[in-house]
Structure 1
Amino acid sequence: MIIKYLKKLKKNIKEHLLRLEYRNLSTKEAFEKIYDNKEWNRNSIKINSGPGSHEKLLTEPYIKFVSKFLKKKKLNVLDLGCGDFNIGKEFYKLSSSYLGIDIVESVIKANKIRFYNQKLDFLCLDIINDDLPNADCVIIRQVLQHLDNKSIKKILKKLDKYKFLIITEHIPNGKFKANIDKSINPLIRLEFNSGINIEKDPFNIKYKIKEELILKDSQMGGLHKTVLYTIF
């Protein structure tokens, strides 16, 4: 009992210190720090977007789900928060064009060196504050979960011009209060039994049809929920 309490206390202290460390940083500074400090994978010598982008039990069913959709449509795709492109690399050949966007310049530079195709390009943008390019389909995989609600609202307001939207979020397993606010840092709402649901307050996204994929995370706990929205 004491050992369990001490472990929880240690975890809470670590999370509190991490929040303080990122408290006064801009979004760009925060994500640059996350990659520089390898917050999502300290064992990797390369730029790494974390286990959610590399764990096969989570990535392979997701890739199959999205690929099935893209094969039927041949769309112009916008990947917001493309990260190290470990997953996106499976999609661009199925698209008419594919644009990966990230706020971290070093991530974009690395992707441009590692991946080349006439259908593919990368761009360094702040998806919260910058204008977004035109496309048919937007992919946002485990990005919103790191942002505050104000930033998420600003992003979602820009997405109604896209016909298809594929959102993935790491959420608790079971009942939980959605969309509890947080600051921008490496932590996600799962830490306090919450998660992003863009269909609920304060976001309330409007859509025509949706299709879901739900995967259990055996390492970190919770679920990885992907929703394919047809907006219009």
Structure 2
Amino acid sequence: MIKKVLKKIIPPRIQQKLGQAKMFRIGNNFKNMTNAYVFDKIYNKGTWGKNIDGISTSGIGSHTKEIIHPYITQISNFLLEKKPSIIVDLGCGDFNIGSNFVSFTDKYIACDVSNVILSRNRDKFSSLTNVEFKLLDLSKDYLPKGDICFVRQVLQHLSNADIKTFVENLNSNKPYKYLVVTEHLPNSDDFDANLDIETGPDIRLIVDSGVVLHKAPFNLDVSNISELLEVVEGIEGGGRVKTTMYEF
């Protein structure tokens, strides 16, 4: 409640400066670490939250019904229409979302940079015979080819340098027909997109920013851009969760 009141009375630019100071402190905790180490640490510590059994999860963005139910419905309809043979999921996390889509494809390649979460997924979802759990850092590794690629609330945790190499890979190799990106953004469209952060657990919302791949400095090269979904209800900390479809 106090945070909401302060947000109303503190000017946006002051809020951004305070956010930048907080982000600097957070970033220093993860500076000079590999992405694998960062996200293993997040899952080992339960930084994004734990379930009732005390097991770490991918956080509220992957478990809050107001956020995930509309997404699952919309994406299921999208997959029914497109009928992909291969789906690639970059940053699959605890697979609470991706597990809903495996029946729509012949092969589902679920990738993550954290071996901690992948090892758990391999045990938990061993009955899903068309799913491959693959250790992969999207910022530097070869991207497996597919018809559709999901990147859901992943880029928001990455530095601009990491995102830039990912986009350069996409622009050069065009490994997907459709790229479906979900990001947590400020409520207003009038925000400074793509402010830089250190790769880590927090996101750009703290500095009133968010990732928009087709804007500078990333400039994703696509033939078509369309909004699939935007959710504003049930989001802790405010903002909106927007899903954009990029067609190559």
Q: 57, 80, 87: which is aligned to 2:90? A: 80
Residue pair 2:19, 2:207 contacting (<8 A) in 1 also = no
Q: Is the aligned partner of 1:219 residue 2:230? A: no
Structure 1 unaligned spans of 5+: none
What does residue range 127-142 of structure 1 map to in structure 2 within 5 Å? 127-142=138-153
Residue pair 1:179, 1:197 contacting (<8 A) in 2 also = yes
Q: Which amino acid aligns with 2:57?
A: N
Q: Which amino acid aligns with 1:72?
A: E
Render the CA deviation track for 1:65-111: whole Å, top value 9, x for unaligned. Answer: 11111112221100000000000000111112101001111211111
What does residue range 1-232 of structure 1 map to in structure 2 within 5 Å? 15-42=23-50, 45-75=54-84, 76-115=86-125, 116-159=127-170, 160-174=174-188, 175-212=190-227, 213-217=229-233, 218-231=235-248
TM-score (normalizing by structure 2): 0.85
Q: Secondary structure at the match of 1:22?
A: coil
Render the CA deviation track for 1:21-55: whole Å, top value 9, x for unaligned. Answer: 11221111111111111111156512300000000
Q: Which amino acid aligns with 2:203?
A: I
Residue pair 2:153, 2:183 contacting (<8 A) in 1 also = yes
Residue pair 1:74, 1:96 contacting (<8 A) in 2 also = no
Render the CA deviation track for 1:170-217: whole Å, top value 9, x for unaligned. Answer: 000112100001111111000000000011101111222233111115
Identical aligned residues as a percent: 37
Task: Tell me which stretches of 4 or more aligned residues in structure 1 moved more than 3 Å.
Answer: 10-17
TM-score (normalizing by structure 1): 0.90
Higher relative contact order (CA 8 A, sep 6+): 2
Q: Give the RMSD, CA atoms, in angstroms.
A: 2.3
Question: Do the aligned partners of residues 167 and 4 (structure 1) sit closer, same or farther apart at CA in structure 2, a change above 3 Å counting?
Answer: closer
Q: Secondary structure at the match of 1:158?
A: helix
Q: Which amino acid aligns with 1:182?
A: I
Q: Which amino acid aligns with 1:123?
A: K
User: Following TM superposition, by how much is the alpha carbon of 1:16 offset from its aligned partner in structure 2, in angstroms?
Assistant: 4.6
Residue pair 2:222, 2:247 contacting (<8 A) in 1 also = yes
Structure 2 unaligned spans of 5+: 8-14
**Number of corresponding residues:** 228
Taking the aligned partners of 1:33 and 1:13, their CA distance within structure 2 comes to 23
Residue pair 1:127, 1:155 contacting (<8 A) in 2 also = yes
| Higher mean C-alpha deviation, range 204-213 or range 184-193 | 204-213
Residue pair 1:141, 1:167 contacting (<8 A) in 2 also = yes
| Higher mean C-alpha deviation, range 69-78 or range 79-88 | 69-78
